[in-house]
Structure 1
Amino acid sequence: MSRKAEILEGLGGIVPALRRYSRALAAGAGHALADDLVQGALQSVGARIRAKELRPADLAEARIEAYAALTAMAAKRLGPASRPAPRHPPIVHALAELPFDDRAALLLVSLEGLGYDSAARILATPREALLSRLMRARAALALDGLHSPDVGARRPVSHLRVVK
């Protein structure tokens, strides 16, 4: 098997990760749209590899290209009408409220576990801009109370009592 065929076959193995990222990036817009984004990204990368426009040295390089293609397609297709239904959990609504670039940066680093340099490459932005987007996204989610340790916990008991 040629190296190109090996990489194309290996791209099939990253479909679950791409689906996870796509569904989170679409923030409740629907599984059909998320799956269309994954399929389009894989077709785009596969076509570029076959046309020799893209020559990834290994599967990791092809994976970065697939994430980049998916993110670019999502940026074009997701709009204000792509909002989560009321039945979705609060985190999905909070993600949907984030600007697209901040959401993509947060998901690439936090959900997909990519490093800052890889995430910056996928988003075609300098590392410093990526870090700024991450800070804004994390701050926005913290303001929503999604990451505070006392979410769902009981209020601390007051030791003061009213004496009559």
Structure 2
Amino acid sequence: MDSRAILAVLPRLRRYAQALVGERAGADDLVQDTLERAWTRVSQWRPERDLGVWLLSIMHNLRIDQIRRPQFSVVSRDEEEVDLPTRPTQTDHLELRDLAGALAQLPEEQRAVLLLVALEEMSYAGVAETLGIPQGTVMSRLARGRERLRLILDGQTSQAKLRVVK
């Protein structure tokens, strides 16, 4: 593993971290933690394996650990809020806000699969390897995540569809 390969994967790591965490400072911390973990476990990396998939897998596992661990919110008064660039129309901003809110309502398993497929444009096989789950599970979570996202954006509540089994 050389530094050029890591630098080539860095934009993907930052983009996925930003989508997972939702704010720049936390995303940068997640990327740093991912690279630190990868460096300490470099002996576990196999050269025939895609470096990006390996690093995204480490990032995913670190994010799951972060979610499970209780966190305390600390906001520095000295730091300025960074506004993300938006398109010029107000409706686009509202739609993006609604989409971010809807993504936040998805279960973590569905959101991770949806972000890897839609944002990172990964194949189902790549997502399965990254998350350590079967490819069929990836397709199932993606379908359920898309459907739940559509219902949330349409303003419908997703009612549990239960069948009576005899």
TM-score by length of 1: 0.72
Alignment match, 1:53: 44
Q: How big is each residue's C-alpha offset from its partner over 1:49-80, in whole Å with a ceiling of 9 and x where there is no partner? A: 2xx2222236xx11101000101111111369
Alignment of structure 1 residues 132-151 onto 2, 5 Å: 132-145=140-153
How many residue pairs are counted as aligned between the two chains? 131
Alignment match, 2:6: 11
The 1-side partners of 2:102 and 2:136 are apart by 24
2:109 and 2:141 in contact (8 A); partners too: yes
The 2-side partners of 1:77 and 1:69 are apart by 12
TM-score by length of 2: 0.71
State the secondary structure of the residue aligned to 2:41. helix
Is 1:92 the counterpart of 2:100? The answer is: yes
1:22 and 1:34 in contact (8 A); partners too: yes
The 2-side partners of 1:126 and 1:143 are apart by 26
RMSD (Å), alpha carbons: 2.3
2:98 and 2:153 in contact (8 A); partners too: no
Identical positions, percent: 34
- Offset of residue 40 of structure 1: 1.1
Question: Which of 53, 58, 61 is 1:69 aligned to?
Answer: 58
Query: Structure 1 residues 96, 145: closer, same or farther in 2, change over 3 A?
Result: closer
Alignment match, 2:139: 131
Question: Which of 109, 121, 124 is 1:116 aligned to?
Answer: 124
Higher Rg of the two aligned structures: 1
Query: Structure 1 residues 108, 92: closer, same or farther in 2, change over 3 A?
Result: same
Q: How big is each residue's C-alpha offset from its partner over 1:76-104, in whole Å with a ceiling of 9 and x where there is no partner? A: 1136979xxxx971111111111111100
In structure 1, list runs of 5 or more residues that go unmatched.
147-164
The 2-side partners of 1:46 and 1:63 are apart by 14
Whichever residue aligns with residue 116 of structure 2, its letter is L
